[in-house]
Amino acid sequence: MSEYDDVVERQRVIIEAEKWAKGVKGIHAHSLTSLWYETNPDRTGNDLSVIDIEFNDGVIEREYIKTGKVESIGEHLTGQALYDEFGRHNR
């Protein structure tokens, strides 16, 4: 049975990493013109106030205060990239 110990341990870490990735790293309320990661810095109009929720895997979920619209910035980590990122923060 010990021949599978490494496989079982890796799968345990992957499951733990998937839970960790959904955790909130930070919440920031701000104006769209205030941060380096703004994807469209030339925006104008009334919908400039937002709340950004950053998750442990780096994805940012942005909610526009005035309209309630929600968008996602970035891509969720999966597979080896998620395993590696989790390891950097939790070992």
pLDDT in tens, 54-81: 999 999 999 998 889 999 999 999 999 9
pLDDT tens by residue, 23-59: 999 999 988 766 666 666 555 555 578 899 999 999 9
User: What is the per-residue pLDDT for 90?
Assistant: 86
Averaged over 9-17, what is the pLDDT? Answer: 93
User: What is the per-residue pLDDT for 1?
Assistant: 59
User: What is the per-residue pLDDT for 22?
Assistant: 95
pTM here is: 0.75
Q: Delimit the domains of the chain by residue range.
A: 2-90
User: What is the per-residue pLDDT for 31?
Assistant: 81
Here the tokens at position 13 are: 């870490």
User: What is the per-residue pLDDT for 3?
Assistant: 82
